[in-house]
Amino acid sequence: MQPTQTQGSVRVPDNRTILLIDDDRLQYRITQALMRGFRPAYELEWASSYEEGVELLLRRSYAACLLDFQLGRRDGLELIREVTEKGCHTPIIFLTSESSETVDIQAMEAGALDYLIKGEITSSMLERALRYALRLGVTLERLRLLATHDELSGLMNRRAFDSWLSEELERCGRFSHVLGLVLVDLDHFKSINDRFGHPAGDAVIRETGRRLRATIRNVDRAARYGGEEMAVVVTEGDGQGTTLLARRLVEVMAAEPVRLPDGSEIPVTLSAGAAWYPRDARDPAGLVAAADLALYAAKRSGRNRAMTFGEVPARPE
C-alpha cells in the first residue's frame, strides 16, 4: 500500500487500488485479467494519457502505479520525474515492450522500483512485483522521514525546513503571495529539564510537536528549529492569519498541562513571534530574523504571549 507521509510517522492508508497509466485499452483488460486471482484483491483504475496519469497521481492515493514506458509522444520517465518533483511517492512499476538494459537503468534512475516486460507478464509475476514494490515503498518512505524529520517532535528537521522555506519564498515572489513565519519557544524549558529530568523534557517536546501539528492547516509546515524552538510556515495566508495562528499556538499550549512519563502533569507555556513576507523581509534569513526579534520581544514582555515584528519596540539610535 502507498505510504502516506505524516509528520513524524509513516502511515499506510487502507487502500488497495492500483493505477495503470497506459494509452492502450487492451493492456488495461489484460492487467485486469492478471489481477483477478490476487488475494487479497486489488482494484484497478486506468488513466489513458500522460496528463490524466499525472493529475490522478497528484490528487489521489494509490497503493502502487503500473506505468507504460511510451505514452503517445511522451514517455513514462518524464512522468515519474514530474510527479516526484511535486511530492508524489507512490511506488511505480514500469511496463515496457522491450527487454533492454538501457530501459532498466533509465527506469530505476528515474525512480521506478521495478519493471516488467509486456507480453511476458504472468499473474504470479505481477503479484510478486506489486508485493515487492509496496514493501520497498514503505521502507523508502521511512528513510525519507528519517532524513527530513526530527524523531522526537515529529516535525520537519532544520535542514529540510530551511530548504522548504527558501523554495516557498521563491514561489511567493513569482506569484506575489504572502508567506508567514511563526517562531515559538517553550518558556523556562531549562527549568523543566533541571527539575523533572530529561525524559520529562523529551515528553514536553513531543507533546508540543503534537499540538502544533493538530493546530496548523494541512498546507502549513512545522519544524523543530533547534532545541526547544519550533517554527511554522503559513502558506497562502496573510499577516492577519499569521498573527492569529501565533496567538492560537500560545493558547493551545497553555490550555492544558503536559503529562509526563511518570503520570504527573506540569503546566507548560510558550512564547511566539510572527513575521511575514514581503512586509517584514524578502529573504529567508531576513524573515527568520524578524520573527526571532518578535519572539524575544514576547519573552521580554512576560512570556506566554505572541507578538508580531511590527509590534517590536523601536530600538534607540
CA distance 148 to 154: 10
Q: What Rg, from alpha-carbon coordinates, does the chain have?
A: 24
Give the neighbor-by-neighbor strand order of the sheet with 64-68: 43-47, 17-21, 64-68, 92-96, 114-117
Omega cis (within 30) before 91: no
Which helix or strand (DSSP H or E) is residue 69 part of?
Answer: none
Q: How far is CA 254 from CA 208, 211, 233, 267, 305, in A?
A: 11, 11, 21, 7, 10
The reply to whether 256 belongs to the active site is no
The Cα 246–Cα 60 span in angstroms is: 32
Residue 61 CB burial class (10 angstroms; 0-12, 13-18, ≥19): middle
How many whole angstroms separate alpha carbon 66 and alpha carbon 21?
6
Catalytic residue among 43, 228, 229, 236: 228
**Where in the sequence numbering do the catalytic residues fall?**
228
